[in-house]
Amino acid sequence: MINLPNNKVKNSYFTKIFQLNCGGRLLSIDKPIVMGILNITPDSFFDGGKYQNISDILARAQQIIDEGAEIIDIGAFSSRPGGQILSLKEEKERLYPALEQIREKFPEAILSVDTFRAEIAKEVVANFSVNMINDISAGEMDADMFETIAQLKVPYILMHMKGKPQTMQQNPEYENLMQEIMFYFAEKVDLLSQMGVSDLILDPGFGFGKTLNHNYELLAKLHEFKIFEKPLMVGLSRKSMIYKYLNTKPDNALNGTTSLNTIALLNGANILRVHDVKEAKETITLIDKLNQVDGFS
């Protein structure tokens, strides 16, 4: 703990201000922010099939904005464990009409697209002014992704995943969980830095190639990722590490999500990727207030 000049001790869950160039728009992260999930998929684990027509998609985007999310993350394929990889053609057919309507109605919204495909990343930035790319594979599923991101000059979210969605939960093993993930990110960040990419966001990938115990170890040691000096995003929302452990279902996992998001924020998370924006914003507000109390540690 550092004594500040006014002799007040701060336990700040957020000690570094990040600024991301989102395709010409500056996103300043001076305290944690929220990314609202908009799944236009028929098979996502929680809300699959809920947003299939344009009116429902636009209503969901409006809800995310109204509840205070700084970013809307739009995904056209489900990365749930065991899920099948969507073809390039199908992903475009789902994603592009939705993006066209969202961008037309919400021209000022900061949009992220959840895709591992370089071709889609390039086209959504060019055609729909998408502001950032969220890649669950960190370039592992498309060899052209890093070069594409370097050309696009938009923020890039790298997620750690061991294996692929179809197989990642089939007995994942690590000799040293944190060491392996740290080395993974170190190599990726170094390579992208050499390519001129600096606007990076790290996502440790809760539930992606990790057992229940792996997930909780990762959460407990989340603060270790501060060494990279990059924004840290966590996606805990209604995941199986909550509902399976509590012997319930995703529909009943909001309370657990809020509990784990609180822990993540106290351990250095900068972006919460969530289904429930209002509750996440309230969590950030309350922790921010707590952080203002003298002597909180």
List b or e across 134-155, with b for residues whose CB sees 16 or more CB atoms inside 10 angstroms. Answer: bbbbbbbbbeebbebbeebbbb
Read off the pLDDT of each residue in 107-131 and give the average, rounded to a whole number.
Answer: 97
What backbone phi and psi angles, to 5 degrees, belong to 200? -115, 145
Please report which confidence band the pLDDT of residue 7 belongs to, taking 50, 70 and 90 as the band edges.
Answer: very low
Q: What is the pLDDT of residue 236?
A: 97
Q: Reply yes or no on whether the pLDDT at 294 is more than 80.
A: no
β-strands 18-22, 25-29: how paired?
antiparallel
Q: What is the pLDDT of residue 148?
A: 98
Q: Reply yes or no on whether the pLDDT at 6 is more than 70.
A: no
Q: Reply yes or no on whether the pLDDT at 73 is more than 90.
A: yes
Percentage of the chain with pLDDT > 70? 87
Does 122 participate in catalysis according to the annotation? no
42 contacts 90 by C-beta, under 8 angstroms = no
Higher pLDDT, 218 or 293: 218
276-to-76, 165, 224, 238, 244 alpha-carbon distances in Å:
19, 24, 27, 9, 19
Coil, strand or helix at 133: strand
Structure tokens at 39: 């799944």
Q: What is the pLDDT of residue 2?
A: 34
Higher pLDDT, 165 or 273: 273
Please report which confidence band the pLDDT of residue 172 belongs to, taking 50, 70 and 90 as the band edges.
Answer: confident
**271-274: strand order across its sheet:** 200-203, 156-159, 132-135, 111-114, 71-75, 33-39, 271-274, 233-234
The one catalytic residue in 117, 162, 239, 281 is 239
From the CA atom positions of the chain, what is the Rg in Å?
A: 18
Q: Reply yes or no on whether the pLDDT at 10 is more than 50.
A: no
Q: Reply yes or no on whether the pLDDT at 147 is more than 80.
A: yes
Higher pLDDT, 112 or 46: 112
pLDDT (tens digit, 9 = 90+) per residue, 225-282? 999 999 999 999 999 999 999 999 999 999 999 999 999 999 999 999 999 999 999 9
The one catalytic residue in 60, 80, 210, 273 is 273
234 contacts 272 by C-beta, under 8 angstroms = yes
Percentage of the chain with pLDDT > 90? 77
Q: Where are the domains of the chain?
A: 29-77+86-290
Whether domain 29-77+86-290 has CATH 3.20.20.20: the reply is yes
Q: What is the pLDDT of residue 46?
A: 47
Q: What is the pLDDT of residue 15?
A: 59
Q: Reply yes or no on whether the pLDDT at 22 is more than 60.
A: yes
Does 273 participate in catalysis according to the annotation? yes
Beta strands in the chain (DSSP E): 18-22, 25-29, 33-39, 71-75, 111-114, 132-135, 156-159, 200-203, 233-234, 271-274
